[in-house]
Amino acid sequence: MVTAKFFGMISVDNNLKNISVNEGTVKDAIKEIADITTINKKQLEQAVIVVNNEFKEGKSRFKTHLKSGDELVFMSPVCGG
């Protein structure tokens, strides 16, 4: 399983810190998370995405492959303060 973690407003607004998702691509993970949590797909797509401590940018971020043991992080982009 892949561990998906949530930080910032995504975590606060949905009262969720982390869940496990299946292996696949980031796109697959987003669909799965949107299906089983209150987080909407758009919010996940607009989030800052980090896979195993590496920031993923651009459209290709959705194609990033996730294998068992990986960490997928979604952070609300609003983190200034």
Give the interface with another protein as residue ranges (CB under 8 A): 7-9, 11-12, 17, 45-46, 48, 50, 53, 55, 57-58, 61, 73, 75-81
Nearer to another protein, 22 or 55 (CB): 55
Query: For residues 70 and 44, what is the distance between their CA atoms, to the nearest angstrom?
Result: 18
What 3-state DSSP class applies to 22? coil
What 3-state DSSP class applies to 44? helix
Q: Tell me whether residue 2 is exposed, middle or buried, using C-beta atoms within 10 angstroms of its C-beta: 0 to 12, 13 to 18, 19 or more.
A: buried
Nearer to another protein, 32 or 71 (CB): 71
Nearer to another protein, 12 or 36 (CB): 12
The alpha carbon of 29 is separated from its chain's Cα centroid by a whole number of angstroms, namely: 7
Task: State in angstroms the smallest separation of the CB of 41 from another protein.
Answer: 14
Task: State in angstroms the smallest separation of the CB of 46 from another protein.
Answer: 6
